[in-house]
């Protein structure tokens, strides 16, 4: 079981000093991965918990690559239809290059109507656009020479393609994960909530002859002691989850380190 942790790139906790200190604490503890989220246009009436302050996800991942050296860095998740395909592919390749291959690319189709409206994008097209960008990304990482809109160009740097995890729920996310991804990336309040979908995902992989990859679950990490923490992770392990991302809440570095310490003790239990 791989264990990662979230990092707040939003709200009062998204200051450079606190984010850097938290990221280093997670890395020093030996956690496998660090994950941030993606919002770009929070409406005033939906800003509770963040105040509408969100740091750009890809810029922040590049910055985190500079303040850490070993821990994997994950997008949880990058909303693809918010973005044009070529600049996004370039940014992803740049983060992967500068992090020396530490990027894990979680992607999704998005859900917030207000953000699609602010961007002037038809929300109904988000599935089709996501698939187009995914295919373009995969193609970019397979060849130095690309063509778009009738124009040939060089796609460099071209590091090893990051693993692509497809976020979202069944059935569409499962089908997309089989076709384009290296694994499925659900949010889960409990193991029972995703157990049947994991079985379906495994069936789809078998039918298509595709490698299952990994199931990564974003999980609320609201535990009061080590026994509860281990029982929680064990329960996800039993239903076929390969990586748990512990979603933690905190106000300051001390609060973050307390959660990191619980997860570090879990690492020793596996």
149-189, pLDDT tens digit by residue?
Answer: 999 999 999 999 999 999 999 999 999 999 999 999 999 99
> Given a cut of 70, is residue 147 above it in pLDDT?
yes
Write down the domain spans for the chain: 2-267
**E-strand stretches of 145-205:** 145-148, 151-154, 163-167, 183-185
Q: What is the pLDDT of residue 168?
A: 96
Q: What is the pLDDT of residue 107?
A: 98
Q: What's the first-to-final CA gap in the chain, in angstroms?
A: 7
Query: What is the pairing mode between strands 2-6 and 243-247?
Result: parallel
CA distance 9 to 50: 9
Q: What is the pLDDT of residue 22?
A: 98
Query: What is the pairing mode between strands 103-108 and 151-154?
Result: unpaired
- As given in the structure block, the two tokens for residue 58 are 């890809």
Q: What is the CA radius of gyration of the chain?
A: 18
- Classify domain 2-267 at the CATH topology level: TIM Barrel (3.20.20)
96-104 mean pLDDT: 98
Provide the pLDDT confidence category of residue 269 given band limits of 50, 70 and 90.
confident
CA distance 180 to 138: 8
Burial of residue 66 (CB within 10 Å: 0-12, 13-18, 19+) is: exposed
CA distance 159 to 250: 35
CA distance 99 to 162: 11
Helix/strand/coil for 107: strand
Provide the pLDDT confidence category of residue 270 given band limits of 50, 70 and 90.
low
Entry pTM: 0.96
pLDDT tens-place string over residues 115-144: 999 999 999 999 999 999 999 999 999 999
Q: What is the pLDDT of residue 5?
A: 98
Mean pLDDT for the chain overall: 96
pLDDT tens-place string over residues 35-70: 999 999 999 999 999 999 999 999 999 999 999 999
197-225 mean pLDDT: 95
């Amino acid at each position: 079981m791989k264990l990662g942790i979230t990092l707040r790139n939003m709200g009062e906790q998204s200051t450079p000093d606190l984010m850097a200190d938290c990221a280093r604490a997670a890395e020093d503890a030996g956690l496998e991965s660090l994950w941030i989220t993606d919002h770009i246009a929070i409406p005033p009436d939906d800003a509770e918990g963040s105040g509408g302050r969100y740091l750009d996800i890809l810029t922040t991942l590049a910055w985190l690559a500079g303040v850490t050296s070993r821990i994997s860095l994950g997008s949880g998740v990058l909303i693809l239809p918010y973005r044009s395909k070529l600049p996004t592919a370039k940014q992803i390749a740049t983060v992967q290059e500068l992090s020396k291959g530490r990027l894990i690319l979680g992607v999704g189709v998005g859900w917030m109507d207000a953000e699609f409206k602010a961007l002037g994008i038809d929300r109904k097209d988000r599935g089709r656009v996501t698939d187009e960008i995914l295919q373009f990304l995969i193609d970019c990482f397979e060849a130095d020479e690309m063509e778009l809109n009738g124009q040939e160009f060089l796609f460099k740097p071209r590091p090893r393609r990051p693993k692509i995890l497809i976020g979202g729920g069944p059935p569409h996310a499962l089908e997309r994960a089989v076709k384009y991804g290296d694994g499925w990336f659900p949010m889960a309040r409990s193991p029972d909530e995703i157990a049947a979908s994991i079985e379906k995902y495994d069936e789809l992989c078998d039918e298509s002859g595709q490698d299952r990859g990994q199931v990564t679950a974003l999980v609320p990490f609201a535990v009061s002691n080590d026994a509860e923490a281990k029982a929680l992770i064990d329960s996800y392990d039993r239903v076929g989850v390969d990586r748990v991302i512990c979603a933690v809440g905190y106000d300051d570095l001390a609060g973050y380190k307390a959660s990191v310490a619980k997860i570090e003790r879990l690492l020793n239990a596996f």
